[in-house]
């Protein structure tokens, strides 16, 4: 793993980029310093960048949030969220797991994530006992964003109803405005511990990379994936055979203590070997 002080050498080395959002370009509230400039430099150089996020909402909703932060549409070439991928799988029903799901859905998550279900032949029900499956988009706005046990009673009710769970965000945690908050993936792990049947949609599943590689339209040897999570971004890139750059200032920052040696050891323990690492996504 090559430690770099900035992204410039990688911008010159590769022709296309798959970029994570949270932890690389923004923290859910504001862009990271230098990230917009970095996107602009890639665009000016004619090097396409596609955004691939585990956000549990439709791509258009994620785009609107970025516009609000000052991240313009012309700074990147395309976007795919895990919420968008979930929407398509619920719509198309070509995957055997999704084909077997019924139409009555219980939503575990905040109202802002209901876009995943927009326009689909689904009936949203208010009680797990009325549902065929549960769509998990993560913690709501009324309970603790940091304590997963706050959702255990609801998970137990879903399990008692023997509901399969669709997880629309495989992240366990994410940094939002400098604070660590839990995500749908952590609730899904707790559901699995109860014996629940689950399906995860998003990184690191290789299936999520097909559409973004198609957007780039180039040999994957010329593509670099950029992300801050070993478990999703780095493992996902390794799973589809593309090089990766680990951004150390994101989700793993508290445990790395600004130490490149600690970062190298963490990657080794995870069985991963990113091509490069930077502390932030900036030139």
Q: What is the pLDDT of residue 141?
A: 86
In the beta sheet, which residues pair with residue 50? 18, 78
Could you please state the CATH topology (level 3) that the domain comprising 93-200 is classified under. Answer: Rossmann fold (3.40.50)
> pLDDT means per 10 residues in the chain (283 residues)?
95 97 92 96 97 96 95 96 98 96 97 95 96 96 90 96 98 83 95 98 96 96 97 97 96 88 93 96 96
CA dihedral 260, 261, 265, 268 (to 10 degrees): 60
One fold for 12-54+204-278 and 93-200: yes
Cα(1)–Cα(34) distance, rounded to whole angstroms?
Answer: 23
pTM: 0.94
Q: What is the pLDDT of residue 247?
A: 97
Which among 166, 178, 243, 231 is positioned nearest to 204, based on CA atoms?
231
What CATH architecture does domain 12-54+204-278 belong to?
3-Layer(aba) Sandwich (3.40)
Q: What is the pLDDT of residue 257?
A: 85
Q: What is the Rg, in whole angstroms, of the alpha carbon atoms belonging to the chain? A: 19
Cα(91)–Cα(75) distance, rounded to whole angstroms?
Answer: 29
Cα(261)–Cα(185) distance, rounded to whole angstroms?
Answer: 29
> What sign does the CA torsion over 88, 93, 94, 95 have?
positive
Question: Which residues, 6 or more positions from 107, have their beta carbon under 8 angstroms from its beta carbon?
Answer: 113, 114, 117, 124, 134, 135, 137
Q: What is the pLDDT of residue 262?
A: 93
In the numeric block, the tokens 């040897």 are attached to 221
In the chain, domain spans: 12-54+204-278, 93-200
Q: What is the pLDDT of residue 134?
A: 98
């Amino acid at each position: 793993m090559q430690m770099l002080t900035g992204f410039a050498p990688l911008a010159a080395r590769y022709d296309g980029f798959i970029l994570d959002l949270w932890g690389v370009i923004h923290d859910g509230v504001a862009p990271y310093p230098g990230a917009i400039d970095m996107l602009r430099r890639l665009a000016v150089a004619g090097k396409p960048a596609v955004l691939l996020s585990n956000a549990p909402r439709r791509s258009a909703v994620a785009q609107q949030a970025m516009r609000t932060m000052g991240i313009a549409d012309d700074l990147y070439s395309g976007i795919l969220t895990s919420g968008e991928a979930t929407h398509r799988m619920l719509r198309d029903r070509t995957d055997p797991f999704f084909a077997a799901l019924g139409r009555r859905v219980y939503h575990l998550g905040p109202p802002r994530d209901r876009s995943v279900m927009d326009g689909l032949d689904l009936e949203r029900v208010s009680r797990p006992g009325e549902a065929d499956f549960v769509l998990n988009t993560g913690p709501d706005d009324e309970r603790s964003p940091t304590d997963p046990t706050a959702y255990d009673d609801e998970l137990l009710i879903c399990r008692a109803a023997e509901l399969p769970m669709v997880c629309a965000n495989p992240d366990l945690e994410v940094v939002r405005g400098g604070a660590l908050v839990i995500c749908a993936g952590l609730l899904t792990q707790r559901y699995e511990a109860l014996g629940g049947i689950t399906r995860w949609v998003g990184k690191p599943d290789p299936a999520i990379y097909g559409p973004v590689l198609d957007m780039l339209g180039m040999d994957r040897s010329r593509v670099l994936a950029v992300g801050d999570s070993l478990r999703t971004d780095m493992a996902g890139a390794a799973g589809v055979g593309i090089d990766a750059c680990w951004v150390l200032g994101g989700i793993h920052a508290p445990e790395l203590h600004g130490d490149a040696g600690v970062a190298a050891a963490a990657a080794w323990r995870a069985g991963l070997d990113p091509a490069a690492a930077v502390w932030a996504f900036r030139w």
